[in-house]
Amino acid sequence: RRRPIRPNVVLYESFAGNGMLCNPEAIFRRLRAEPEFAHLRHVWVLRSKRENRAVVREFRHDRSVRFVRPRSWGYYRALATSGYLINNATFPIEFGKRDGQIYLNTWHGTPLKAMGYDVPRGRLATRNVVRNLVAADYLLAPNDATESMYLSSYRMAGIFGGSVVRSGTPRIDHQFADAGH
């Protein structure tokens, strides 16, 4: 945390490092496709390079993309110094967003079940989610159910200081864009 923030670095984490997946992957691929963002460097959190062989192979010669393991020294360094943070779930309890970082939480689906404080005895399990949501600068909400989850189920109404972005879902929008729609 004593190192300077690197404004041209984007850290992506999807499902605690399970892979290059979901909304973070769609955002990553779109940024890489746009010439105006060619200056960005990308750090992906991957729990296992072996289980993500195809992705590692795809970017093995690309110096603008690197991979870190969750909770490794490289992970904590990237988490503390990346200018942009994109996650579809939550960063670990050790995470503390710094001034100068921009955090986008995309979530990972439409919540059609009880979430957060709406889950019986869910208060303890909700702690780190609430911390992450409060830290985010932007929460992606493609529909009323997702916005309600943030503001009601996680009790963010009145305390969330960022912006709820009412927009599509990057991973779904990406599929339509690829299909030529």
Give the 3-state secondary structure of the chain: CCCCCEEEEEEEECHHHCCCCHHHHHHHHHHHHCHHHCCCEEEEECCCCCCCHHHHHHCCCCCCEEEECCCCHHHHHHHHHEEEEEECCCCCCCCCCCCCCEEEECCCCCCCCCCHHHCCCCHHHHHHHHHHHHHCCEEEECCHHHHHHHHHHCCCCCCCCCEEEECCCHHHHHHHHHCCC
pLDDT score for 176: 54
List the chain pLDDT tens, one digit each, 181 residues. Answer: 789 999 999 999 999 999 999 999 999 999 999 999 999 999 999 999 999 999 999 999 999 999 999 999 999 999 999 999 999 999 999 999 999 999 999 998 777 788 898 898 877 889 999 999 999 999 999 888 889 888 999 999 999 999 999 887 765 555 555 555 4
pLDDT at 105: 96
pTM of the model: 0.91
pLDDT of residue 134: 95
Nearest to 135 by CA among 90, 88, 78, 72: 90
pLDDT at 79: 98
Beta bridge partners of 102: 84
What is the model's pLDDT at position 121? Answer: 81
pLDDT computed for residue 108 by the predictor: 87
CB 135 within 8 A of CB 103: yes
According to the model, what pLDDT value does residue 181 have? 47
Angle among Cα 139, 140, 142 to the nearest 5 degrees reads 145
